[in-house]
């Protein structure tokens, strides 16, 4: 059997990382929003599980966009 | 100030008999409504305790008049309980889920826990009932249990024994609150025995007002009729019981009462014959009032209606500007626009009030809000008192901003702002170039017009919604407002290299179009069509692009590198002069290069002016030159006929060869297909290639012969310029009709082993399956026409189905996205909650209207930087 693979290695899964507290407050400051106004992602999502993110964490996704190259998207774990 | 409140929770439940009695102001015991003197009967269905529907009378409960009294419920005490028909299914569940003796669930506590643990609260009762129906003995008290069956709509049987609502109610009453809670019910808001009605609420009179006919007669509402039925039977049942009537009679009346209550709730209950009015009309009862497209929800609550709007048939008017709409005089006379009187417009306002005809004021509103209709009697008086602070309501005049809309409103250009132009006639008129965004034509289309009432709305519409700002579609970043049809044909005819106009004709045309200079005429006194056209081009413009005609010429080999063609395949504009090529669809049609460039480089106003001038020129030209369709021009010379036959014969022969190979099993199968499928594909390819060949033959022939200074273009000008029609149409007319297809395949459905009886069974040949070698000019044979009809019918059906399906997809998308907004910081948010949906609009933050087909229009920017030099 091959070594255990991570779903993050798949080409279609966007790169993701958990934002630090400072980064989160900077993000909320930038958009003048509360955490609950950010797009959500379920705690049970495979990517969330893989990252070990907990409820309330904000995850930064680096997506490939056909028109804009790389774009950043933020989702809060609920 | 807007006060925002958050809804904490919504609780749904079933009304308890106590609650119904508490709500009720009066018990209804008499089925009559009004007595002989026209007064409402006490204890009747129109008892004034339930509110009043006549102006002037006072409600006996709250003492208010009609306008203030909200209406109050009454009640009917049912002598015998009846089942609530809409809940019959749930009553069945309850009866099967719980023991009739002890009221406990028919499964052990452990089994119940299991059901509760693993199931959705909505499904628990159903699951328990399913289990309970099979239980023979109650696990709690040991009583016997027989499954209860619901005989629709409202009868219950235990085995063969009918159980009446009284017994059902007794059983349901026994169910303990604790067990209900376990199943997810809230016993405070819901008890199962409440599903069996002992008392019926009577809605207020305001819910079921009676109408007074012209004859002075009263016509009662359907609900009142139905309630009268209930009261009547209820009283009869009571009398019979009191008189000690036989059980059978009582049961009959009981069933009748049940029927009336059932149809009172839902007159479309399956299994119950619909209750009818004396006239035979089916009554509209509670559920019918609420349900469906014409029900309270979709018709009255989701549907909104407006004032200051009009609707009429639309007709084209080439003399309008593209931001104008022709408003019929009748509309302008009727509809008003408020005008706030200030010290600066006082004189103008006085003019409207003083006037006795058309642009006049219909109403004057004083600062205290009192409205006065301007009449011949009080005109002088009002004129005298008119002062700043007053508002007058004047008739619509030229230049008022209106919204113009055509359904289905599929995108934002379906509702654009236009300037009103009051014109005679009864139709709304628009410039033909604004048809494409509305998807309008003039075969009887009607459109809606809204007259904007406030200055804010007018300014907002003028700045954001005016047609000029929508020449470029945001959907694909190209012109959507552009000349169509005859306008393109006319410009094509004008700009052909050999088109000349006499100097006086050119002057007439240009004056008509709104151009006040004439290009230089030659020695003979003629002006070339191109020079005439060039007068409306900006002076510093330089462009070169392939024309529609050019593409046709190149594709037939009549033009191309190193070839000399009658018309240069590129449209070339140098310093504002059309020097080569023609103006056709590629230049001024939808998505046209010229319209696109002018709009972006010289602005919307220039583009609007350009389109208007092109249209007026075209109007003049079409009237001057004319163009027509003739049978004569569809005739083809012997030689072409022979070539068409050759192509067709060769294809048929080739198909015959395939068929022979197939019979012998020698056919080379296509990978992934069996022999039969391969044969079908070979045949289709062969026949469609033949059709293409014929099409190209005709295309070349027509371009060669018609597109000359001597050639008679007739309606071919439409095809050459891309205005309308295609070479495929021409092939059908002059060449061969070709293969009829149903679902992209040859027609196969019909009789046994053949589609129609004109062929032998098992014939796989071209003609037996829809290949037509005739054309429309010479006429199709009957079998050819039949096959053609098969394909045509499929097309029509698909069209209807796909518009319905896409319409519904669209509705769902627009409803889901209607309150998303792009905020000033470039984020897309849900307006009501401020929640972010996209951090940068469209991932790049770019308005697609500013792009050209999704790309940056580099040429426009370069020209701006370099000052138009290429």
Contacts of B826 in chain A (CB under 8 A): none
**Distance (Å) from the alpha carbon of A6 to chain B's nearest alpha carbon:** 27
Please name the member of A39, A67, A72 whose beta carbon is closest to the beta carbon of B836: A39
Only one residue has tokens 């499929």, namely: B794
Residue B870's pLDDT is 46
pLDDT tens, position by position, A7-17:
888 889 999 99
CB atoms within 10 A of CB B736: 24
Cβ proximity of B506 and B530 under 8 Å: no
Return all residues near B380 (Cβ < 8 A) that are at least 6 apart. Answer: none
Give the residue numbers in B contacting A (CB under 8 Å), as ranges.
825, 827, 829, 833-837, 839-840, 842-844, 854
Q: Would you call B648 exposed, middle or buried from its count of C-beta atoms within 10 A (0-12, 13-18, 19+)?
A: buried
| CA–CA dist B595, B581 (Å, integer) | 17
Sheet holding A69-77, edge to edge: A15-18, A58-65, A69-77, A40-41
CA A63 to chain centre: 10
Nearest Cα residue in chain B from A65: B843
Evaluate whether B174 touches B102 at the Cβ level (below 8 Å): yes
Q: Does A26 touch chain B (CB under 8 A)?
A: no
CB B127 within 8 A of CB B203: no
Residue B789 φ/ψ, nearest 5 degrees: -65, -35
Can you read off the two tokens belonging to residue B263?
């149809």
Architecture of domain B309-479: Beta Barrel (2.40)
B503, B565, B642, B782, B859 from B580: Cα distances, Å: 21, 12, 36, 48, 20
Quick one: what percent of chain B has pLDDT higher than 70?
A: 99
**DSSP three-state, residue B710:** coil
Of B583 and A6, the structure prediction assigns the larger pLDDT to B583
Return d(Cα B199, Cα B22) in angstroms, integer: 11
In angstroms, the Cα distances linking B527 to B477, B497, B513 are: 37, 12, 16
Block residue for tokens 């008892």: B47
Which CATH superfamily includes the segment(s) B485-624?
Answer: RNA polymerase Rpb1, domain 3 (1.10.274.100)
Q: Which of B825, B836, B840 sits opposite A38 (nearest CB)?
A: B836
Instruction: Work out the percent of chain B whose per-residue pLDDT is above 90.
Output: 58
pLDDT score recorded for residue A1: 55
Cβ(B701)–Cβ(B640) below 8 Å: yes
Q: How far apart are CA B73 and CA B49, in angstroms?
A: 9
* Interior/surface letters A27-64, b for 16+ CB within 10 angstroms, e for the rest: bbeebebeeebbeebeeebebbeebebeeebbbbbeee
| Chain A residue with the nearest C-alpha to that of B843 | A68
Closest chain B CA to residue A68:
B844
Q: Which residues of A touch B833 (CB under 8 A)?
A: 37
Q: What angle do CA B267, B270, B271 make, to 5 degrees?
A: 105
The span from the CA of B419 to the CA of B404, in Å, is: 10
> What tokens were used for B244?
């000690």
User: Which residue is it, tokens 């009309």?
Assistant: B281
Integer Cα distance of B387 and B110 in angstroms? 85
Instruction: Identify the helix (H) or strand (E) that includes residue B148.
Output: strand B148-151
**First vs last Cα of chain A: how many Å apart?**
35
Per residue in B796-853, pLDDT (tens digit) is: 999 999 988 998 898 888 888 888 999 999 999 998 778 999 999 988 888 888 888 8
CA distance B825 to chain A (A): 8
Report CA-CA distances (Å) from B386 to A30, B83, B156, B356.
54, 68, 77, 16
CB–CB contact A31 B840 (8 Å)? no
Q: Where along chain B do its domains lie?
A: 84-195, 221-304, 309-479, 485-624, 632-797, 820-864
Query: Which residue reads 């089925």 in tokens?
Result: B31
Length of chain B, please? 870
Asked if omega into B612 is within 30° of 0 (cis), the reply is no
Superfamily for domain range B632-797: RNA polymerase Rpb1 funnel domain (1.10.132.30)
The closest of B501, B467, B492 to B481, measured between CA atoms, is: B467
| Spatial separation of the C-alpha atoms in residues B196 and B80, rounded to whole Å | 10
Say if strands B570-574 and B543-546 run parallel, antiparallel, or are unpaired: antiparallel
Asked if B840's CB is within 8 angstroms of A33's CB, the reply is no
Helical ranges in B758-840 per DSSP H = 782-817
Q: Tell me the chain A residues in contact with residue B843 when contact means C-beta distances shorter than 8 Å.
A: 65, 67-68, 71
Helices and strands in chain B, H and E counts: 27, 29
Return the closest-CA partner of residue B487 out of B616, B381, B593: B616
Q: Which 3-state string (H, E, C) describes B214-234? A: CCCCEECCHHHHHHHHHHHHH
Query: Measuring CA to CA, how many Å separate A78 from each of A44, B61, B320?
Result: 9, 52, 58
Closest partner CB to A37 (pick from B834, B840, B842) = B834
Taking an 8 Å cut-off on Cβ atoms, the answer to whether A73 and B835 are in contact is no
Task: State ipTM.
Answer: 0.92
Q: How far is A10 from chain B (nearest CA, A)?
A: 22
Q: Which residue of B has its CA nearest to A28?
A: B836
Beta strand A58-65 with B543-546: parallel, antiparallel or unpaired?
A: unpaired
SS3 sequence of B456-483: HHHHHHHHHCEHHHHCEECCCCEECCCC
Q: Is A61 on the interface with B (CB under 8 A)?
A: no
Cβ of A39 within 8 Å of Cβ of B837? The answer is: yes
Side-chain-side CA neighbours of B93 within 13 Å: the count stands at 15
Distance CA B258, CA B183 (A): 29
Q: What domains does chain A contain, in order, with CATH numbers? A: 7-77 (3.90.940.20)
Residue stretches of chain B with pLDDT short of 50: 870
Structure token digits, residue B125: 């009762």
Query: Could you tell me which of B425, B230, B225, B234 has the C-alpha nearest to residue B317?
Result: B425
CB contact under 8 A, B836 and A71: no
Instruction: Tell me if B267 sits within 8 A of B283, measured CB to CB.
Output: yes
CA atoms within 13 A on the CB side of B198: 13
Q: Report residue B310 as tokens.
A: 């009009």
Residues of B in contact with A71 (CB under 8 A): 839-840, 843
Q: What pLDDT shows up at residue B42?
A: 83
For residue B830, give the chain A residue with the closest CA.
A37
B844: closest chain A residue by CA: A68
Q: How far is A37 from chain B (nearest CA, A)?
A: 4
- Asked if B287 and B265 count as a contact pair (C-beta separation under 8 A), the reply is yes
Helices assigned H by DSSP within B152-246: 165-173, 177-182, 222-242
């Amino acid at each position: 059997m091959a070594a255990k693979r991570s779903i993050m290695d798949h080409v279609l899964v966007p790169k993701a990382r958990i934002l630090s507290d400072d980064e989160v407050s900077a993000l909320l400051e930038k958009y003048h929003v509360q955490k609950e106004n950010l797009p959500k992602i379920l705690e049970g999502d495979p990517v969330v599980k893989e990252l070990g993110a907990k409820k309330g964490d904000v995850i930064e996704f680096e997506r490939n966009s056909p028109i804009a190259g790389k774009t950043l998207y933020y989702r809060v774990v609920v | 100030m807007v006060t925002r409140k958050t809804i904490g929770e919504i609780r749904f439940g079933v009304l308890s008999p106590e609650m119904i009695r508490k709500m009720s102001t009066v018990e209804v015991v008499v089925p009559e409504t009004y007595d002989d003197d026209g007064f409402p009967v006490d204890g009747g269905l129109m008892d004034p305790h339930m509110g009043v529907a006549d102006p002037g009378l006072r409600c006996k409960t709250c003492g208010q008049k009609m306008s203030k009294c909200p209406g109050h419920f009454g009640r009917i005490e049912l002598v015998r309980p009846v089942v609530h028909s809409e809940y019959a299914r749930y009553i069945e569940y309850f009866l099967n889920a719980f023991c009739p003796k002890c009221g406990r669930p028919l499964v052990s506590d452990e089994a119940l826990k299991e059901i509760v643990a693993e199931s959705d609260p909505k499904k628990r009762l159903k699951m328990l009932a399913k289990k309970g129906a099979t239980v023979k003995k109650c696990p709690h008290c040991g009583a016997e249990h027989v499954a209860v069956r619901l005989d629709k709509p409202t009868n219950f049987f235990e085995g063969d024994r009918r159980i009446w609502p009284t017994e059902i109610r007794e059983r349901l009453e026994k169910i303990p609150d604790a067990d209900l809670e376990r199943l997810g019910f809230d016993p405070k808001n819901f008890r199962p025995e409440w599903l069996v009605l002992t008392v019926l609420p009577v809605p207020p009179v305001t819910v079921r007002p009676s109408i007074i006919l012209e004859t002075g007669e009263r016509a009662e509402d359907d609900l009142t009729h139905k309630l009268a039925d209930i009261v009547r039977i209820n009283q009869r049942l009571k009398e019979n019981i009191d008189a000690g009537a036989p059980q059978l009679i009582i049961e009959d009346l009981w069933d009748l009462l049940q029927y009336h209550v059932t149809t009172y709730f839902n007159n479309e209950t399956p299994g119950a014959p619909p209750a009818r009015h004396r006239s035979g009309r089916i009554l509209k009862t509670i559920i019918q009032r609420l349900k469906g497209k014409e029900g309270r929800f979709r018709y009255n609550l989701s549907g909104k209606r407006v004032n200051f709007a009009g609707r009429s048939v639309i007709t084209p008017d080439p003399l309008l500007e593209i931001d104008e709409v022709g408003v019929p005089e009748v509309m302008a006379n009727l509809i008003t626009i408020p005008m706030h009187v200030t010290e600066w417009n006082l004189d103008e306002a006085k003019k409207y009030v003083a006037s006795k005809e058309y642009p006049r004021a219909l109403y004057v509103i004083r600062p205290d809000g009192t409205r006065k209709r301007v009449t011949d009697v009080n005109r002088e008086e009002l004129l005298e008192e008119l002062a700043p602070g007053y508002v007058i309501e004047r008739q619509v005049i030229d230049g008022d901003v209106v919204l113009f809309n055509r359904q289905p409103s599929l995108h934002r250009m379906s509702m654009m702002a236009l300037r009103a132009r009051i014109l005679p006639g009864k139709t709304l008129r628009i410039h033909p170039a604004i048809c494409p965004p509305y998807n309008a034509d003039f075969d009887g289309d009607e459109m809606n017009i809204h007259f904007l009432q406030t200055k804010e709305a007018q300014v907002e519409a003028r700045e954001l919604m005016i047609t000029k700002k929508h020449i470029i579609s945001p959907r694909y970043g190209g012109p959507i407002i552009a000349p169509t049809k005859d306008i393109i044909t006319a410009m094509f005819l004008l700009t052909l290299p050999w088109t000349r106009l006499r100097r006086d004709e050119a002057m007439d045309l240009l004056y008509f179009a709104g151009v006040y200079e004439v290009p230089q005429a030659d020695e003979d006194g003629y002006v070339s069509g191109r020079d005439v056209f060039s007068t409306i081009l900006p002076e510093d413009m330089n462009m070169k692009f392939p024309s529609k005609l050019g593409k046709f010429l190149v594709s037939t080999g009549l033009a191309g590198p190193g070839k000399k063609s009658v018309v240069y395949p590129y449209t070339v504009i140098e310093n504002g002069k059309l020097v080569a090529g023609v103006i056709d669809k590629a230049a001024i049609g939808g998505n046209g290069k010229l319209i696109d460039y002018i709009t972006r480089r010289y602005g919307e106003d220039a583009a609007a002016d350009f389109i208007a001038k092109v249209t007026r020129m075209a109007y003049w030209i079409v009237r001057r030159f004319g163009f027509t369709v003739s049978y004569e021009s569809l005739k083809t010379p012997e030689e072409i006929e022979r070539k068409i036959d050759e192509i067709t014969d060769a294809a048929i022969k080739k198909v015959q060869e395939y068929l022979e190979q197939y019979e012998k099993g020698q056919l080379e199968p296509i990978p992934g297909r069996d022999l039969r499928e391969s044969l079908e594909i070979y045949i289709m390819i062969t026949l469609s290639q033949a059709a293409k060949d014929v099409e190209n033959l005709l295309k070349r022939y027509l371009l060669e012969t018609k597109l000359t200074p001597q050639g008679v273009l007739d309606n071919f000008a439409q095809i050459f310029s891309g205005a309308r029609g295609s070479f495929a149409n021409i092939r059908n007319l002059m060449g061969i009709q070709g293969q009829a297809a149903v679902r992209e395949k040859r027609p196969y459905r019909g009789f046994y082993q053949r589609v129609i009886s004109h062929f032998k069974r098992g014939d796989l040949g071209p003609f037996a399956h829809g290949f037509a070698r005739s054309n429309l000019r010479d006429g199709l044979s009957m079998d050819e026409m039949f096959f053609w009809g098969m394909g045509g019918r499929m097309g029509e059906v698909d069209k209807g189905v796909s518009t319905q399906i896409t319409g519904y997809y669209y509705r769902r998308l627009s409803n889901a996205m209607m309150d998303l907004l792009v905020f000033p910081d470039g984020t897309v948010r849900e307006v009501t909650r401020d929640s972010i949906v996209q951090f940068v609009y469209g991932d790049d933050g770019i308005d697609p209207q500013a792009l050209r087909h999704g790309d940056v229009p580099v040429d426009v920017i370069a020209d701006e930087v370099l000052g138009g030099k290429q």
